[in-house]
Amino acid sequence: MDETVRRAVEFHGHLCPFVVVGAKAAGYAMEKLGAGRASDEELFCIAETANCAVDAIQAVAGCTLGKGNLYIRDYGKNVFIFGSRKSGRALRIYFNPDVFKGRSFEERVELALSLSPEEAFKAEFVDIEFPEEAEVRGSVLCSACGEYAMDTKVREINGRKLCLPCYFATREEGKN
Ligand SMILES: [Zn+2]
Ligand SMILES: [Zn+2]
């Protein structure tokens, strides 16, 4: 097992076929884009799935939910688009799961580990609109629960500013 897969497994919690696929996709994209592990938002990933591979991408490429450089567009497809803000280039990677058909879990893991990126993926540079970088937003005090919420998430109803849970609770009450 190479270092990237080891790092992914440690973060994900177990060794499975798609954590290997994700680790390889991340490593391959970083190589093709000439990018290191993202410390900030210089590298981002748009994942069209929310499976085990996404954990590997967070661990290996540093594209994470918390930093805002991982975008989940869960179409249930093994498509991972990596973009480098430095070079302005983006690489789209597709993994065809047909290779796993008729194989046991162990065999899938073995296969995923043995495939080279060229064998495993369809990869192409693509022209995409880069997502906007995450901004730091201010906080607003909710007039119902007295807790702060990000200003973009606050709703106003009858002149009161409410966090989303309070806003939805108020609407529910209104129905009764
Ligand atoms: Zn898994
Ligand atoms: Zn509230």
| Together in a domain, 144 and 94 | no
Give me the CATH number covering residue 53: 3.30.1330.130
* Total structural domains within the chain: 2
At 172 the pLDDT is: 82
CA of 139 to the centre of ligand 2 (A): 12
At 86 the pLDDT is: 94
At 67 the pLDDT is: 93
CA of 59 to the centre of ligand 1 (A): 13
| Together in a domain, 84 and 153 | no
CA of 62 to the centre of ligand 1 (A): 18
CA of 135 to the centre of ligand 2 (A): 22
CA of 176 to the centre of ligand 2 (A): 20
Give me the CATH number covering residue 158: 3.30.60.20
At 116 the pLDDT is: 95
Is 160 contained in some domain?
Answer: yes
CA of 14 to the centre of ligand 1 (A): 6
Is 56 contained in some domain?
Answer: yes
Ligand positioned closest to the Cα atom of 165: 2
Is 131 contained in some domain?
Answer: no
| Together in a domain, 110 and 49 | yes
Question: Do 69 and 63 meet the contact criterion of CB atoms below 8 Å apart?
Answer: yes
Ligand positioned closest to the Cα atom of 139: 2
Is 39 contained in some domain?
Answer: yes
At 134 the pLDDT is: 76
Is 60 contained in some domain?
Answer: yes
Residue 135 has pLDDT above 70, yes or no: yes
| Together in a domain, 69 and 114 | yes
CB contact set of 94 (below 8 Å; sequence gap of 6+) = 77, 78, 79, 121, 122, 123
**107-114: long-range contacts at Cβ-Cβ below 8 A with a sequence spacing of 24 or more?**
108/17, 109/15, 109/16, 109/17, 109/20, 111/17, 112/17, 112/18, 112/20, 112/21, 112/24, 113/1, 113/5, 113/20
| Together in a domain, 112 and 146 | no
Q: Which residues surround ligand 1, an ion (CB under 5 A)?
A: 16, 19, 52
| Together in a domain, 160 and 103 | no
Nearest to 149 by CA among 159, 158, 161, 157: 161
| Together in a domain, 43 and 100 | yes
Domain span including residue 158? 139-175
Is 40 contained in some domain?
Answer: yes
CA of 136 to the centre of ligand 2 (A): 20
At 71 the pLDDT is: 96
Ligand positioned closest to the Cα atom of 8: 1
Is 99 contained in some domain?
Answer: yes
Q: What is the mean pLDDT of residues 32-45?
A: 95
Residue 176 has pLDDT above 60, yes or no: no
CA of 148 to the centre of ligand 2 (A): 8
| Together in a domain, 29 and 95 | yes
